[in-house]
Amino acid sequence: MTSVNCKTIRIRGKLLPLHPPLVMGILNVTPDSFHAFSRRQTETEIHSRIEEILAEGGRIIDIGACSSRPGAAEVSEEEEMKRLASALRIVQTHYPDAIVSVDTFRADVARRSVEMYGASIINDISGGESDADMFLAVARLNVPYILMHMRGTPQTMQQFVTYDNLIVDIRTYFAEKVYKLQLLGVSDILLDPGFGFSKTTAQNFELLRRLDDFAVFGLPLLAGLSRKSMIYKHLHITPDDSLNGTTALNTLALLKGADILRVHDVKAAVEVVQLVHAYSNSDPVCGCASE
Instruction: Note if 262 is an active site residue.
Output: yes
CA distance 84 to 198: 26
Reduced to 3 states, what is the DSSP secondary structure of residue 61?
Answer: strand
Reduced to 3 states, what is the DSSP secondary structure of residue 122?
Answer: strand
- Residue 35's CB is within 10 A of a number of other CB atoms, namely 19
Phi, psi angles (nearest 5°) of residue 193: -70, -10
Please report, for residues 16, 18, 200, the alpha-carbon distance to residue 286 in angstroms, rounded to integers and kept in the order given. 12, 9, 37
Check 209, 228, 233, 267 and give the catalytic one. Answer: 228
Is residue 253 classed exposed, middle or buried when 0-12, 13-18 and 19+ CB atoms within 10 A define those classes? buried
**Active-site amino acid positions:** 228, 262
